[in-house]
Every structure is written in structure tokens, then in C-alpha cells.
A and B are shown apart, each in its own frame.
Chain A
């Protein structure tokens, strides 16, 4: 199919429908409102249910029910709204309820600003719910990738029975780019949900579990998740891109919108003779490890639209915190490529 030009948020909604999403619940918040607006119109036409929930909290708990009942389901929000959803995400983790959480970040904390930001890296990768857990976090950098990520998020969610977050930002959500909705994504063998979902037990009860009061049993459940889910996801679901890394001596590390700014900066720096490339995590959890084993890299320059939330992950991955430098803007400010070039030159100059 030919590419179509579409706003990121609308493309996200369309991708969900194409992925078989049958239930969406959400609450209005800028800059992702086009997602629920689109789905309120289109999802019922595709045989699905759209609900404007009374709150962010209600929306994620609706997913807990709908996903628990076996439907592919999604919610969408932005930073303070995702903060409110955290408890419910924890329930979906523990109850093994597959669902997709689309997060379109804005500057924070609190109401902060509605401008694009990456200040929710920790919120996404560390989560805010109680307990030990991980959820896969996909970080698209274009509308095409957002569409692909949404589709694949449903596959990952169903395959591992886990919530999956697609972490975008206001820039990707609001912009328009050509997108091909027919681009295939990796499909997984997903066992029938009738084996576990609500409504299929027929006297042999299916339970979506939120409490395991017996501590040894609760520990065992945690350990099972770490062994059967998280370790497998870490082994099989890591995604990243390497850009101009073949001869690189320096590497930007950036994801989402900031990675695109880095690419523009790389073109300028390369013209000036700086051998710099980009390592772009496309999954933030699991975080890529392999590209950071590159011994030719003198410095990893982490560029984010926050104050360095990914730095610890980069330091752990390259196993040398002295090699990790940082440049970023926060609070809804997007760094210009020129700023990134200047910061890189200063950092590299200091190193040589």
C-alpha cells in the first residue's frame, strides 16, 4: 500500500485497530488527544469498544478487566496521566493481563508543560507501581516506527502476558510523516486466551490474581516472572539501531525524538571530521547491551530531553561510567542540532 500522511497520534490509533485492538479506555490529556478522538470515531466501526473513562485510574483498571477478559486493549496518556496509571499497571503485571499503554511524554514534573519531553524515561523503565517488575518499553523515533511499535506491542503483550508501554513524546504524537500501515511486524505464536482469560472458565475457574497472601508463594510467583518472563524478554526482545558506527570513535546515545536531532548533529560533526555515530535503543527495557561493548568508542554521549535519566543504563551497559557524558534539555525544550554539535565538540575537546 502507498504511504499516507498522518499525524502521529492518529497513526497510533489506526495501528491499534490494525493490530486487533478491541477495547480502548482513556482520559483526555494533551498532547495525545488525537489518539482517543480518532479511536472514538474509528474503533466502534471496527467492532471495538471505546470508553472515555472518568479518570486515568479508571482507564487502566478498565484495561485490567478487558485485557483480563481476553480482548486486545490499549490506553493512551501523557506524563501526569501515566503517573496516575502506575498502580493499575502493577495489577496488570501481577495478574498477567496483556495490554498496551501508549505514553506521549510532555515536560514535568506535575502538570509541567505540554511540550515534548523525555522526562519519563524512569517512569517508563522503572515504573511507579509497587513491587519488583519490568514491562517492555518500546521507543519509536518516527511515525512509521510508532505504528510498527504499537502493532508489535500487542504481540509482545499477548506472548508474554504483560503490559507493554510504547513511549513516544509530544513531537512524534503531533507531527505528520508518511507512513505505510502494511509494513509487517514480527508475529508470535500466541496460545488461545480461552486457556486463562475471564469468561472462559465454565466452572473450572479462571483467576486474574492480584493478591498472593502467602509470602513463600508470593516470592515464587515473583521468581517465576523473573525467570520465565524478564530473562526471556531480555534475551529475545532487545532492539536498537546503530547509525554511522562502523568507524566511530564517539557515540551519541539517544532514543526517540532526541535521536533524530543527534542524526542531524552527526551529519554536521562528520563534515568537520569527527568520527561519531549513534547508538539508538529502540527498546528501553530491555536495554541493549551489545552495542556498548564496542571498544573503539572513547566516549558515549547520552543526549536526552531530560536531565540524564538514561545515563545509569548506559554506564552499566558499557561498564565504565567515566566513558559516559551527557547533554540534554528538559522541561519541554527540544535541543537544536547546533546545540548538540556544540555540546559534543566541547565534550570531545575536553577528552582530547
Chain B
């Protein structure tokens, strides 16, 4: 007799991920599917895809899904959730999508306290289009549109989304996590689970900011990219719970 000790979550399809080796997206996809499975929501979930590397997430989940216009997933999720308040609704967005072109939509969905969950992947770069500067690119970090490194006097400063959104009254739960180590991955899963549970309880908007990597566009090996997350990204984007209405925070 064999015992199953590890299996693919029911929420993931058999499609092979198109992401680059070492990319954090695959980890986060799996964590979402595990949480949804555990909550018994696999057939009751709608996921909204961004523009960016994760545009193809409809290929990877068995959930109903929609390819959103760049940055507009929070608006479209508002439409979906208001029509189907009983569904678990997730937007999955990168930093260019959420913090640049879609800043208005995320701020207002959060302010309205829309009862969906946003998984925000912050890897400080535009991946899909080939390494351009993102709103979260660190000062000094190189990008194809900031080739000598981001100069804050020229390019402006990075935006800390969790801090910014936690100033609003609409969000129920906001946490920043990372996927650079097994311990952080476990914490990431707990945060995603909590965010989804807050949604199910109808408490308001929830967001998990995942500090992730981009080995390809950062020009690093997978291992070096994870070290960069630990050494450079997390100090600029401190991990932790920024909003939790159950804890009075």
C-alpha cells in the first residue's frame, strides 16, 4: 500500500507552467489552490487574471476566470462579486498592473471594502514585457528603462502598497509576506488562507502582498534572486500584518 504524502491540489490543472525557472508565481499559484481546496471552495471560486506574466493563470486553475484589462481586475472583480456574493473571488495582480496602471482601481475597491481578495505579486519589475521599471523597483535597481539603476530624483520613489492601502477603512486584512524561504512560504499560505476566510466572512477587502522575484529580468540565478529578496527587497518592503480588523489593527 502506498500513502499519498504530496499531491497536486484539485484546483490546479495539468498544464505545465510557462513561468521561468525559479519564479515565485508557481509557488503562489499552488498556495492559492491549496487554500481554496482546504476551504472546500474549488468549484465556487472565480479568479481574475491581470496583464503581465500571470495573464495565463486561467490555464492553470480549474476556477472560472477572466482576462482583465491592464490594472482593471479590481473593477471587474467588483462586478463579479456584486453579482455573485456567494462566490470566492480573487484578483491576482503584479506590481505594474496593480501599483501603476491600476492604482485607481485597487485603491477604490479597497476603500469600498469590496469583499474579494487580491493576491499582489511584488517583484519590482515588469516581467512579461522584458524587465522595465516597475512602481516597486528599488532605488538603484537596474531595469531596461532605468539602465543605470532607478534614480529616485528622475524616476520617483517606489510605492509601498500594503502601507498605503492599510490607511483606508475598507480593507479587513492586509499582510505582506514573501516566498524566499520555506518558512516564509508557510507564512504566505497562512496569510492567503486568512485573507480568503475574511472574504468568506464578508468582513471586507483583503490583500496579500507577496514579495517575490524575477530571476530572468533581474539577471540572476534562482538562488541569487531569492537572496536578493531577503537582502534587498524585504528590508525595503517589511513583512508583517498591516491591517487586521479582527485584531483591531
| Chains A and B touch each other in the complex, with CB atoms below 8 Å apart | yes
Q: Chain A interface (Cβ within 8 Å of chain B)?
A: 22-23, 25, 49, 51, 53-55, 57-59, 61-71, 73, 87-88, 91, 95, 198-203, 205-211, 213
Please tell me if the beta carbons of A69 and B69 are within 8 angstroms of each other in the complex: no
Please tell me if the beta carbons of A58 and B104 are within 8 angstroms of each other in the complex: yes
Please tell me if the beta carbons of A88 and B83 are within 8 angstroms of each other in the complex: no
Report B16-43 CB contacts with A as 1/0, cut-off 8 Å. 0000000000000000000000000011
Q: Which residues of chain B (44-74) have a CB below 8 Å from chain A?
A: 44, 46, 48-49, 55-56, 58, 61-69, 72
Q: Which residue of B lies closest to A68 (CB)?
A: B66
Query: How far, in whole Å, are A327 and B46 apart by their CA atoms in the complex?
Result: 52
Please tell me if the beta carbons of B104 and A55 are within 8 angstroms of each other in the complex: yes
Please tell me if the beta carbons of A201 and B75 are within 8 angstroms of each other in the complex: no
Please tell me if the beta carbons of B67 and A95 are within 8 angstroms of each other in the complex: yes
Query: How far, in whole Å, are A328 and B51 apart by their CA atoms in the complex?
Result: 43
**B: contact size bracket:** 35 or more
Please tell me if the beta carbons of B65 and A65 are within 8 angstroms of each other in the complex: no
Q: Which residues of chain B (79-107) have a CB below 8 Å from chain A?
A: 79-84, 87, 104-105, 107
6 pairs, CB–CB < 8 Å, chain A vs chain B: A22-B83, A61-B69, A68-B79, A69-B79, A201-B64, A203-B42
Please tell me if the beta carbons of B64 and A199 are within 8 angstroms of each other in the complex: yes
Query: How far, in whole Å, are A87 and B71 apart by their CA atoms in the complex?
Result: 12
Query: How far, in whole Å, are A59 and B67 apart by their CA atoms in the complex?
Result: 16
Taking A65-B76, A73-B79 as known contacts, 5 extra A-B pairs with beta carbons closer than 8 A to each other, sorted by chain A number, are A69-B80, A91-B68, A95-B66, A202-B44, A207-B58
Q: Which of A51, A66, A205 contacts B65 (CB 8 A)?
A: A205
B208 lies within 8 A of chain A by Cβ = no
Query: How far, in whole Å, are A207 and B80 apart by their CA atoms in the complex?
Result: 13
Residues of B within 8 A of A88 (CB): 69, 72
Q: Which residues of chain B (112-129) have a CB below 8 Å from chain A?
A: 112
Most chain A C-beta atoms within 10 Å of own C-beta, residue among B61, B63, B80: B80
Query: How far, in whole Å, are A198 and B84 apart by their CA atoms in the complex?
Result: 9
B203 lies within 8 A of chain A by Cβ = no
Please tell me if the beta carbons of B68 and A210 are within 8 angstroms of each other in the complex: yes
Q: Which of A57, A65, A203 contacts B79 (CB 8 A)?
A: A65
Query: How far, in whole Å, are A203 and B64 apart by their CA atoms in the complex?
Result: 8
Residues of B within 8 A of A54 (CB): 104-105, 107-108
Please tell me if the beta carbons of B66 and A210 are within 8 angstroms of each other in the complex: yes
Please tell me if the beta carbons of B80 and A68 are within 8 angstroms of each other in the complex: yes
Residues of A within 8 A of B58 (CB): 205, 207
Q: Which residue of B lies closest to A73 (CB)?
A: B79
Q: Which residue of A lies closest to B44 (CB)?
A: A202
Please tell me if the beta carbons of A198 and B66 are within 8 angstroms of each other in the complex: yes
B132 lies within 8 A of chain A by Cβ = no
Q: Which of B64, B68, B83, B105 contacts A206 (CB 8 A)?
A: B64
Q: Which residues of chain B (201-233) have a CB below 8 Å from chain A?
A: none
Query: How far, in whole Å, are A71 and B84 apart by their CA atoms in the complex?
Result: 9
B195 lies within 8 A of chain A by Cβ = no
Distance from A294 Cβ to chain B, minimum over Cβ atoms (Å): 44
Please tell me if the beta carbons of B67 and A69 are within 8 angstroms of each other in the complex: no
Please tell me if the beta carbons of A64 and B72 are within 8 angstroms of each other in the complex: yes
Q: Which of B42, B66, B67, B78 contacts A62 (CB 8 A)?
A: B78
Please tell me if the beta carbons of A71 and B104 are within 8 angstroms of each other in the complex: no
Please tell me if the beta carbons of A207 and B64 are within 8 angstroms of each other in the complex: yes
Query: How far, in whole Å, are A202 and B112 apart by their CA atoms in the complex?
Result: 28
B191 lies within 8 A of chain A by Cβ = no
Distance from A162 Cβ to chain B, minimum over Cβ atoms (Å): 17
Please tell me if the beta carbons of B80 and A66 are within 8 angstroms of each other in the complex: yes
B77 lies within 8 A of chain A by Cβ = yes
